[in-house]
């Protein structure tokens, strides 16, 4: 009887290995379930990391089998069998102990049903294989070389597929300018919500210019799909920002509104013109308006604190300096991007008095600040979604009773609602956290260190109660009025 069970144990891992790459792709959907089961199953399965890469169906079956085994063990316990091993096995702490408990199961009459179910497991997995295996060939990058899964379980749903590093394998209809843009975004050459949005729109202009309507198709119908493949490529380089999403949504509506009877060249130039207008209205002019409005809140002798680098905050501070106000700036920064360095340098070059500190110094410097100005990646009615570290700045500001002012264009406002930074976020490659060029560091070979996972989150959410005001081009509003402005800006 025990030999049967061993067979079962062998079969399951085989099936698992085959579907491993597919499970990777579907991880976004069942990531949390996996995390929950991980601890439960850890003891049962000797080949720890691989069991995480199960498909949903297989996991169900496994859980079932495990449950049956547990019940059987309990029966044995009642019958006076040794209890000690069991208790440990159920907890699943030690794989050794778990190995001992396993043979207990098949010794009971229920082993038949277990065998049955296991048979259906492998059969089911195999039958589904031919269909599901195909995409795994197309994306061979997914197979991780390490044995250990280095994804942090709590954020497993955020990993998706790793960022594209080369243009190889890109769709054939992806425009060269888009190819370049994607890589620029990936390497943070183009960084920041507004900059990415504007550069994307400008590149789309080039895409539209070089676009020709295929025969037996119309521009409103085909151009959107053509753009979608460009967008897919950009997303594969780095997930798009909220502002980019808003702009894409706007552009698609514009395209679908193009009259089919319009000559191709006319329609294309019209679209390019409206993109130009959009960029001017939503970013260029909006930034000027916001900088002016935010300037009313800067007074003589203020000490302005800001976090990382926001182009609109920079513009506001430069405008205040140009108006001859005397104020001091504290730039708080954080690894790994250290965007604040650029801001500090730019302001210091102007002649402003700038203090630069990393986040760990915040509790010390916040006592000197009189106002906190922040940029945004996105602004929701429930809070501010911005570069990771913003929340700690705002919370320190609240603690010190310093008002927090967010400057953001209406294109960054979103009706999406988030209550924490876990559900939506962007996970950047963990290698970025390693200090470049330092090979002697303990972390330099983190991938080989067992039980070590490195998490590099891009954003965090600041609850709305920590934000005193939001300066938009439509006026100064509290965060709760974000939906009103969205309605205003999308209707007009």
| Residues at the interface with other proteins (CB under 8 A) | 297, 371, 403, 405, 465, 468-469, 474-478, 480-481, 484-485, 488
Q: Toward other proteins, which CB reaches closer, 118 or 381?
A: 381
Q: How far is the CB of 277 from other proteins (least distance, A)?
A: 20
Q: Toward other proteins, which CB reaches closer, 261 or 401?
A: 401
Q: Toward other proteins, which CB reaches closer, 149 or 382?
A: 382
Q: Toward other proteins, which CB reaches closer, 342 or 481?
A: 481
Long-range CB contact pairs, 419-423, < 8 A, 24+: 419/382, 419/461, 420/461, 421/388, 421/391, 421/457, 421/459, 421/460, 421/461, 422/154, 422/155
CA distance 52 to 355: 47
Contacts of 406 (CB under 8 A, 6+ apart): 374, 375, 376, 379, 384, 467, 469, 470, 471, 479
Q: Toward other proteins, which CB reaches closer, 195 or 477?
A: 477
Q: Which residues are bridge partners to 387 per DSSP? A: 459
Contacts of 283 (CB under 8 A, 6+ apart): 194, 197, 198, 409, 411
Q: How far is the CB of 279 from other proteins (least distance, A)?
A: 23
CA distance 245 to 223: 17
Residue 419, class by beta-carbon neighbours within 10 Å (0-12 exposed, 13-18 middle, 19+ buried)?
A: exposed
Q: Toward other proteins, which CB reaches closer, 35 or 477?
A: 477
Q: How far is the CB of 401 from other proteins (least distance, A)?
A: 9
CB 325 within 8 A of CB 208: no
Q: How far is the CB of 438 from other proteins (least distance, A)?
A: 43
Distance of CA 127 to the CA centre of its chain: 34
Q: How far is the CB of 469 from other proteins (least distance, A)?
A: 6
Strands in 247-382 per DSSP E = 303-307, 328-333, 353-358, 371-374, 378-380
Contacts of 99 (CB under 8 A, 6+ apart): 46
Q: Toward other proteins, which CB reaches closer, 208 or 408?
A: 408
Burial 382-403 (b: 16+ CB within 10 A, else e): bbbbbbbbbbbbbbbbbebebe
Q: How far is the CB of 488 from other proteins (least distance, A)?
A: 6
Q: How far is the CB of 459 from other proteins (least distance, A)?
A: 24
Q: How far is the CB of 371 from other proteins (least distance, A)?
A: 7
Q: Toward other proteins, which CB reaches closer, 203 or 374?
A: 374
SS3 486: helix
Which ranges of 352-406 does DSSP label H, i.e. alpha helix? 362-365, 390-399
Q: Toward other proteins, which CB reaches closer, 119 or 475?
A: 475
Q: For the chain, percent helix, then strand, then coil, each to nearest 5?
A: 60, 10, 30
Q: How far is the CB of 248 from other proteins (least distance, A)?
A: 26
Q: How far is the CB of 307 from other proteins (least distance, A)?
A: 18
Phi, psi of 427 (to 5 degrees): -100, 120
Closest by alpha carbon to 306, among 366, 249, 223, 232? 366
Which single residue is written with the structure tokens 């198709």? Answer: 217
- Strand 383-387 to strand 378-380: parallel, antiparallel, or no bridges (unpaired)? antiparallel
Q: How far is the CB of 471 from other proteins (least distance, A)?
A: 9
Which ranges of 43-154 does DSSP label H, i.e. alpha helix? 48-51, 56-78, 84-91, 95-101, 111-138
Q: Toward other proteins, which CB reaches closer, 176 or 478?
A: 478
Q: How far is the CB of 358 from other proteins (least distance, A)?
A: 27
Q: Toward other proteins, which CB reaches closer, 57 or 293?
A: 293
Q: Toward other proteins, which CB reaches closer, 129 or 488?
A: 488
Which ranges of 43-55 does DSSP label H, i.e. alpha helix? 48-51
């Amino acid at each position: 009887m025990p030999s049967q069970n061993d067979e079962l144990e062998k079969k399951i891992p085989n099936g698992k290995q085959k579907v491993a790459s597919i499970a990777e792709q579907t991880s976004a959907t069942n990531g949390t379930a996996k995390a929950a089961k991980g601890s439960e199953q850890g003891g049962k399965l000797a080949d720890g990391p691989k069991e995480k890469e199960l498909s949903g169906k297989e996991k169900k079956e496994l859980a079932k089998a495990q449950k049956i085994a547990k019940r059987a063990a309990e029966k044995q316990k009642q019958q006076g069998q040794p209890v000690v091993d069991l208790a440990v096995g159920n907890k699943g702490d030690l794989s050794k102990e778990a190995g001992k408990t396993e043979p207990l199961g098949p010794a009971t009459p229920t082993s038949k049903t277990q065998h049955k179910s296991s048979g259906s497991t492998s059969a089911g997995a195999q039958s589904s294989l031919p269909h599901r295996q195909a995409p795994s060939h197309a994306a061979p990058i997914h197979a991780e070389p390490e044995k250990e899964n280095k994804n942090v379980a709590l954020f497993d749903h955020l990993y998706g597929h790793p960022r594209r590093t080369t243009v190889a394998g890109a769709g054939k209809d992806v425009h060269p300018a888009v190819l370049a843009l994607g890589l620029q975004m990936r390497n943070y050459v183009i960084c920041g919500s507004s900059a990415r949005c504007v550069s994307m729109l400008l590149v789309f202009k080039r895409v539209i210019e070089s676009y020709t309507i295929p025969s037996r198709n119309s521009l409103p119908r085909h151009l959107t799909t053509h753009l979608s493949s460009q967008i897919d490529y950009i997303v594969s380089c780095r997930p798009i920002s909220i502002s980019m999403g808003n702009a894409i949504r706007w552009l698609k509506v514009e395209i679908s509104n193009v009259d089919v009877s319009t000559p191709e060249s006319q329609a294309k130039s019209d679209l390019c013109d409206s993109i130009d207008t959009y960029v001017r209205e939503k970013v260029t002019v909006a930034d000027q308006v916001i900088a002016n409005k935010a300037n009313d809140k800067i007074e003589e002798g203020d000490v302005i604190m800001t976090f990382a680098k926001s182009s609109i905050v920079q513009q506001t501070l430069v405008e205040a300096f140009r108006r001859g106000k005397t104020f001091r700036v504290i730039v708080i920064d954080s690894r790994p991007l250290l965007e604040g360095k650029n801001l500090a340098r730019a302001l210091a070059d102007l002649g402003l008095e700038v203090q630069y500190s990393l986040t760990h110094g915040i509790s010390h410097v916040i006592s000197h600040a009189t106002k906190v100005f922040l940029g945004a990646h996105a602004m929701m009615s429930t809070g501010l979604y911005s570069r990771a570290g913003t929340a700690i700045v705002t919370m320190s500001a609240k603690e010190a009773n310093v008002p927090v002012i967010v400057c953001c264009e209406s294109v960054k406002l979103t009706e999406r609602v988030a209550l924490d930074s876990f559900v939506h976020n962007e996970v950047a490659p963990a290698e970025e956290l390693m200090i470049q060029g330092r090979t002697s560091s303990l972390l330099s070979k983190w991938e080989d260190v067992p039980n070590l996972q490195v998490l590099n989150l891009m954003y965090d959410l600041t609850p709305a109660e920590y934000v005193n005001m939001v300066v938009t081009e439509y006026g100064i509003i509290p965060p709760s009025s974000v939906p009103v402005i969205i309605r205003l800006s999308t209707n007009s």
